[in-house]
């Protein structure tokens, strides 16, 4: 047994780290957050050229076909630099198409998604929001979907309806997008209104999409793990240099406790995420509960990490200028995305107990 | 222990209730929500403070000769409770009312009391607290802003940071170093500085909420009359600590009003979206209710102690830790109840209460930093209250 990344997984992680930290410096992320879409087309093209947009798509359809542990390791790096825009939404939506569409539809759709020439997102939630697929209530394709990630920059919205899964043209007839401004400005949310919108039916029921939700959840956890690591790193370097009472504040035991608890949270988040990715990749029977373990644990762990990071910075941590709040905002959005801790704990109770 | 109000306390309470019924607009919150911009909102609240003052309800426990009511701290507690009960707006001159005023009553000259106290009560003059500096936060006594004597003036040079309400303030309670050769706690002096003095530069500082609620203050050769020294020259630490004790002990009273009002709103919301039947939600709300009750009772006891013994002591850190950490827990619970809607900000047709909850969530993060961090409050309790050895 060996619970750690293999050499090839490490290689993927390292090239992800190199790429994301070079192309998404925090100044660029801040600039994008202030735009309407948090999406930059040349940057997306670059990201796509490296294959990152097709990470989860099998090689047969033009993707990289990485195993999910590798994808998680790469997304951890994306989270560390707070990559804004539709990457996560796109990976989740393409996983949905991969999981539920017919061979013909996959051949037709996935290659352009793998190269990033087309961008997709997934619409699940409705005005009475639930991540339980059985709760999907809108008919095809009529009604309202909410909190749809980055819909405004996509070509397709993979839409869950009570009549099955539909691929809807984001800019097509009968589709209206309304921005939903939110705390995390690195990923823009939209309300999507469908008025007799035409759609390509990918599946007659939604059950196959569950796997894509589990993959999306795991990648979100991976991103958050990277974000937590970054908050920890920023904080540790700050408390080593910031002096009060003639000493670095990191010399004070209460401050060390804040940092040590962040470390416990971050390492634990990483363990839970890697196992969820592995379990999904290997189709282990406990895969779904492993995903819920990661999501429910990290919801709290990320909040603790963000709180401690700001706390250890004192007044500086409460400023706009300090980067921590960008991560803090994402940690808040993380809590409810793909189901909150209560939802996932209930799923653990159902699946594992 | 007797929690019954005396006949005169009852009379006070009933009088206040009547006054609130006559003077507090039932739809003030809706009116307030329509006001754009922090300056205009501030003016609305300032007008309310003026009304409270004109009604004779400002400075309940302050001396009558300076515009107060000359009543006891118990009446002050009743006042806070009744304002919470009625859902009244906050008094925006909070730093003057709760920090600078009481410190001036203790340490000020007759002339200073005459000059400042009434205007603090009426809201005519707003105060800010110029304590923290870039290199002196937790270690406040390390501050470096200097003041040197030149005839009958002190000349001030230096920088303050994180100054709440700096943008709104007419006056500043400023801690400066007047004797650079003395040990760090011994060479400090508190000056009352007119913010309109030449050489005072107020710069905005953006908070993680996106707002510029606090400021940086720069002082370049600012001349402050010697008559504006609060307390004695080089005894400023003593005066400043007095202010900080008030801050820790009493700031929570105002926050309590806000938390209780928000809590009621969240319960109402939970009921309206069908979440109040959910056992997990019920547990969380009930726990929060209990915490808020405990905070209120803690505060009542602390005030009673003050009514007997005068100024608040280091045990005020109990209040500070309690309200700040409670508010953070409460905002989290509010978020959990709202689900994904909780993250939506101002301007979304889908956001709840026009996004005030996202603001509240972020703003609460500052609570365990401002007015002394939770770490420092714990050190104060450990050392000054429990008598444990000093840890730093
Ligand atoms: C919203 C807000 C409003 C504010 N308003 C005002 C205002 O109006 N006027 C004003 O003067 N100031 C104001 N402040 C400043 C506030 O008082 C300081 O931020 C606070 O005292 C901490 O100082 P610092 O920021 O320098 O942090 P630091 O002192 O640098 O602290 C960094 C970290 O080290 C910890 N630490 C420091 N020393 C010790 C120790 N001995 N043992 C253990 N841990 C320690 C702290 O707890 C913190 O976690 C405000 C701050 C905020 C956030």
What does the DSSP assignment read for B268-302?
A: HHHHHTT-TT-HHHHHHHHHHHHHHHHHHHHHHHH
In this predicted structure, the answer to whether residue B209 has a pLDDT above a threshold of 80 is: yes
Contact check, Cβ <8 Å, A181/B348 = yes
Enumerate the residues of chain B whose CB falls inside 8 A of the CB of residue A33: none
In chain B, % of residues over pLDDT 70: 99
Nearest CA to ligand 1 atom 19: A315
Among B132, B204, B210, B213, residue to substitute to test ligand 1 (most atoms within 8 Å of Cβ): B132
Segment A134-146 mean pLDDT = 97
Tokens (6 digits) for A334: 């993380």
Tokens (6 digits) for B223: 């001349």
Contact check, Cβ <8 Å, A317/B373 = no
Nearest CA to ligand 1 atom 36: A249
pLDDT tens for A64-77 read 999 999 999 999 99
Closest CA to B269 of B278, A337, B88: B278
Based on DSSP, count helices (H) and strands (E) in chain A, helices before strands. 11, 9
**Is A317 near chain B, with CB under 8 Å?**
yes
What's the A314 CA to ligand 1 centre distance in angstroms?
5
pLDDT tens for B255-289 read 887 898 899 999 999 999 999 999 999 999 999 99
Q: Are strands B229-230 and B188-194 parallel, antiparallel or unpaired?
A: antiparallel
Phi-psi region of B70 (alpha: psi -120 to 50; beta: other; left: phi over 0): left
pLDDT value at position B219?
Answer: 98
Q: Which residue on chain B is closest to A253 by alpha carbon?
A: B391
Enumerate the residues of chain B whose CB falls inside 8 A of the CB of residue A180: 344, 348, 350-351
**Mean of all residue pLDDT scores within chain B:** 94
In this predicted structure, the answer to whether residue A79 has a pLDDT above a threshold of 80 is: yes
Q: How far apart are CA B264 and CA B288, in angstroms?
A: 11
Residue ranges of domains in chain A? 7-203, 209-352
CB B217 near ligand 1, within 6 Å: no
Task: Report residue B72's pLDDT band, with 50, 70 and 90 as the boundaries.
Answer: confident
What's the A35 CA to ligand 1 centre distance in angstroms?
33
- Burial category of B315 from C-beta neighbours within 10 Å (exposed 0-12, middle 13-18, buried 19 and up): middle
Is domain B7-92 annotated with CATH 3.40.1390.10?
no
Nearest CA to ligand 1 atom 13: B162
Q: Report the length, in residues, of chain B.
A: 392
Is domain A209-352 annotated with CATH 1.20.140.10?
yes
Instruction: Find out whether B270 and B281 touch, Cβ atoms under 8 Å.
Output: yes
pLDDT value at position B246?
Answer: 85
pLDDT tens for A181-210 read 999 999 999 999 999 999 999 999 999 999
Q: For residue A239, give how far its alpha carbon lies from the nearest alpha carbon of chain B (Å).
A: 13
Lowest-pLDDT range of A114-128, A313-327, B241-255: B241-255
Segment A18-36 mean pLDDT = 98
Q: How far apart are CA A96 and CA A118, in angstroms?
A: 15
Count of pairs with CB atoms under 8 A, one residue in A, one in B: 115
Q: Which residue on chain B is closest to A325 by alpha carbon?
A: B208
In this predicted structure, the answer to whether residue B167 has a pLDDT above a threshold of 90 is: yes
Tokens (6 digits) for B120: 């603090």
Task: Report residue B85's pLDDT band, with 50, 70 and 90 as the boundaries.
Answer: confident
pLDDT value at position B74?
Answer: 86
Task: Report residue B196's pLDDT band, with 50, 70 and 90 as the boundaries.
Answer: very high
CA angle in degrees (0–180, nearest 5) for B238-B244-B250: 135
The torsion angles phi and psi of A109, rounded to 5 degrees, stand at -100, -40
Segment A156-177 mean pLDDT = 98
Q: For chain A, what is the radius of gyration of the CA atoms?
A: 20
What's the A303 CA to ligand 1 centre distance in angstroms?
21
Which of A180, A247, A309, A321 has the most B C-beta neighbours within 10 Å, making it the best mutation to test the interface with B? A180
- Hey, which residues of B are catalytic here? 247
Contact check, Cβ <8 Å, A310/B208 = yes
In this predicted structure, the answer to whether residue B251 has a pLDDT above a threshold of 80 is: no
The torsion angles phi and psi of A82, rounded to 5 degrees, stand at 65, 45
User: Residue A296: CB partners within 8 Å, gap ≥ 6?
Assistant: A341, A344, A345, A348
Segment A289-311 mean pLDDT = 98
Q: How far apart are CA A61 and CA A102, in angstroms?
A: 13
pLDDT value at position B77?
Answer: 83
CB A257 near ligand 1, within 6 Å: no
Lowest-pLDDT range of A107-121, A235-249, B99-113, B305-319: B305-319
Segment B338-355 mean pLDDT = 94
ipTM exceeding 0.95, yes/no: yes
pLDDT value at position B175?
Answer: 98
Domain B127-235 is of which CATH architecture?
Beta Barrel (2.40)
Residue ranges of domains in chain B? 7-92, 127-235, 252-385
User: Residue A113: CB partners within 8 Å, gap ≥ 6?
Assistant: A53, A54, A57, A90, A93, A94, A97, A119, A120
Question: What one-character DSSP code corresponds to residue A251?
Answer: G
Q: How far apart are CA A133 and CA B275, in angstroms?
A: 20
Q: How far apart are CA B324 and CA B321, in angstroms?
A: 5
CB A42 near ligand 1, within 6 Å: no
Q: How far is CA B199 from CA B156, B158, B194, B195, B218, in A?
A: 9, 11, 11, 9, 8
Segment A169-183 mean pLDDT = 97
CATH superfamily of A7-203: Acyl-CoA dehydrogenase/oxidase, N-terminal domain (1.10.540.10)
Closest CA to A281 of A14, A86, A6: A6
Contact check, Cβ <8 Å, A252/B137 = no
Task: Report residue B238's pLDDT band, with 50, 70 and 90 as the boundaries.
Answer: very high
Closest CA to B55 of B93, B15, B27, B9: B15
pLDDT value at position B310?
Answer: 67
Among A234, A244, A259, residue to substitute to test ligand 1 (most atoms within 8 Å of Cβ): A244
Instruction: Find out whether A293 and A346 touch, Cβ atoms under 8 Å.
Output: no
Task: Report residue B105's pLDDT band, with 50, 70 and 90 as the boundaries.
Answer: very high
Q: How far apart are CA A162 and CA A137, in angstroms?
A: 5
Choose the closest CB to A310 out of B161, B332, B365.
Answer: B365
Choose the closest CB to A319 out of B208, B328, B339.
Answer: B208
Q: How far is CA A231 from its chain centroid?
A: 17
pLDDT tens for B40-61 read 999 999 999 999 999 999 999 8
Q: How far apart are CA B249 and CA B299, in angstroms?
A: 8
What's the B207 CA to ligand 1 centre distance in angstroms?
14
Q: What is the end-to-end Cα distance of chain A in Å, rounded?
A: 26
CA atoms within 13 A on the CB side of B19: 19
Ligand 1 atom closest to the Cα of residue B130 is 11
Which one has a higher pLDDT value, B251 or B379? Answer: B379
Q: How far is CA B37 from CA B196, B212, B350, in A?
A: 22, 11, 22
pLDDT value at position B232?
Answer: 98
Return the axis-axis angle of helices B236-272 and B316-338, rounded to nearest 10°. Answer: 30
Task: Report residue B248's pLDDT band, with 50, 70 and 90 as the boundaries.
Answer: confident
pLDDT value at position B31?
Answer: 92
Question: What one-character DSSP code corresponds to residue B97?
Answer: I
- Model pTM score: 0.97
Instruction: Find out whether A101 and A202 touch, Cβ atoms under 8 Å.
Output: yes
Enumerate the residues of chain A whose CB falls inside 8 A of the CB of residue B136: 244
Nearest CA to ligand 1 atom 29: B138
pLDDT tens for B15-48 read 999 999 999 999 998 899 899 888 999 999 999 9
| Fold for the domain defined by B252-385 | Butyryl-CoA Dehydrogenase, subunit A; domain 3 (1.20.140)
């Amino acid at each position: 047994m060996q619970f750690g990344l293999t050499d090839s997984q490490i290689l993927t992680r390292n090239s992800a780290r190199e790429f994301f930290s070079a192309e998404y410096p925090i100044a660029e992320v801040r600039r994008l957050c202030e735009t309407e879409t948090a999406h930059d087309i040349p940057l997306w093209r670059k990201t796509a050229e490296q294959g990152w947009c097709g990470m989860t798509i099998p090689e047969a359809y033009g993707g990289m076909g990485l195993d999910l542990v590798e994808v998680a390791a790469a997304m951890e790096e994306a989270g560390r630099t707070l990559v804004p825009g539709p990457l996560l939404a796109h990976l989740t939506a393409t996983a949905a198409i991969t999981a539920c569409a017919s061979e013909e539809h996959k051949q037709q759709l996935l290659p352009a998604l793998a190269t990033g020439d087309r961008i997709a997102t997934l619409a699940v939630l409705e005005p009475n929001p639930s991540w339980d697929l059985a709760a999907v209530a809108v008919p095809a394709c009529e009604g309202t979907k909410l909190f749809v990630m980055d819909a405004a920059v996509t070509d397709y919205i993979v839409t869950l309806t009570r009549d099955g899964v539909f691929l809807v043209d984001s800019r097509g007839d009968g589709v209206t997008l309304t921005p939903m401004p939110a705390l995390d400005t690195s990923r823009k949310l939209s309300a999507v209104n469908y008025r007799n919108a035409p759609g390509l039916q990918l599946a007659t029921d939604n059950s196959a999409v569950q796997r894509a939700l589990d993959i999306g959840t795991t990648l979100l956890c991976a991103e958050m793990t990277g974000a937590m690591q970054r908050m920890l790193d920023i904080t540790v370097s700050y408390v080593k240099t910031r002096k009060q009472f003639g000493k670095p504040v990191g010399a004070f035991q209460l401050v060390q406790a804040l940092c040590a608890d962040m470390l416990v949270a971050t390492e634990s988040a990483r363990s839970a995420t890697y196992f969820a990715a592995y379990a999904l990749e290997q189709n282990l029977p406990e895969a779904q509960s492993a995903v819920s373990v990661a999501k429910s644990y990290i919801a709290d762990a990320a909040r603790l990490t963000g709180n401690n990071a700001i706390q250890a910075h004192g007044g500086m941590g409460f400023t706009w200028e300090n980067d921590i709040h960008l991560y803090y905002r994402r940690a808040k959005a993380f809590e409810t995305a793909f189901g909150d801790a209560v939802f996932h704990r209930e799923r653990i109770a159902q699946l594992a107990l | 222990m007797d929690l019954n109000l005396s006949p005169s306390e009852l009379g006070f309470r009933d009088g206040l209730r009547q006054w609130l019924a006559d003077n507090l607009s039932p739809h003030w919150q809706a009116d307030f929500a329509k006001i754009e911009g922090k300056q205009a909102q501030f003016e609305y609240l300032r007008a309310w403070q003026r009304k409270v003052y004109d009604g004779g309800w400002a400075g309940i426990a302050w001396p009558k000769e300076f515009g107060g009511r000359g009543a006891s701290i118990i009446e002050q507690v009743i006042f806070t409770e009744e304002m919470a009960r009625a859902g009244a707006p906050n008094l925006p001159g909070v730093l003057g009312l709760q920090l600078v005023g009481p410190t001036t009553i203790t340490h000020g000259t007759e002339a200073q009391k005459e000059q400042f106290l009434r205007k603090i009560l009426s809201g005519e003059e707003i105060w800010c607290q110029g304590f923290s500096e870039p290199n002196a936060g937790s270690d406040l006594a390390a501050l470096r802003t200097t003041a040197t004597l030149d005839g009958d003036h002190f000349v001030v040079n230096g920088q303050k940071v994180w100054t709440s309400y700096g943008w709104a303030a007419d006056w500043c309670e400023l801690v400066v170093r007047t004797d650079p050769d003395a040990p760090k706690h011994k060479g400090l002096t508190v000056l009352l500085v007119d913010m309109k003095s030449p050489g005072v530069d107020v710069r905005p500082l953006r908070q993680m909420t996106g707002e510029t609620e606090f400021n940086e203050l720069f002082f370049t050769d600012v001349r402050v009359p010697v008559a504006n020294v609060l307390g004695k020259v080089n005894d400023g630490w003593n005066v400043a600590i007095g202010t900080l004790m008030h801050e820790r002990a009493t700031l929570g009273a105002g926050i309590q009003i806000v938390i209780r009002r928000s809590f009621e709103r969240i319960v109402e919301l939970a009921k309206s979206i069908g979440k109040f039947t959910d056992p997990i939600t019920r547990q969380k709300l009930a726990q929060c209710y209990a915490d808020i009750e405990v905070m209120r009772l803690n505060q009542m006891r602390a005030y009673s102690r003050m009514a007997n013994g005068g100024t608040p002591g280091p045990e005020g850190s109990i209040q500070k830790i309690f309200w700040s950490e409670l508010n953070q827990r409460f905002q989290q619970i509010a978020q959990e109840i709202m689900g994904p809607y909780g993250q939506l900000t101002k301007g979304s047709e889908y956001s709840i209460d026009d996004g005030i909850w996202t603001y509240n969530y972020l703003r609460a993060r500052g609570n365990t930093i401002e007015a002394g961090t939770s770490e420092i409050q714990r050190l104060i309790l450990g050392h000054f209250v429990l008598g444990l050895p000093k840890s730093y």
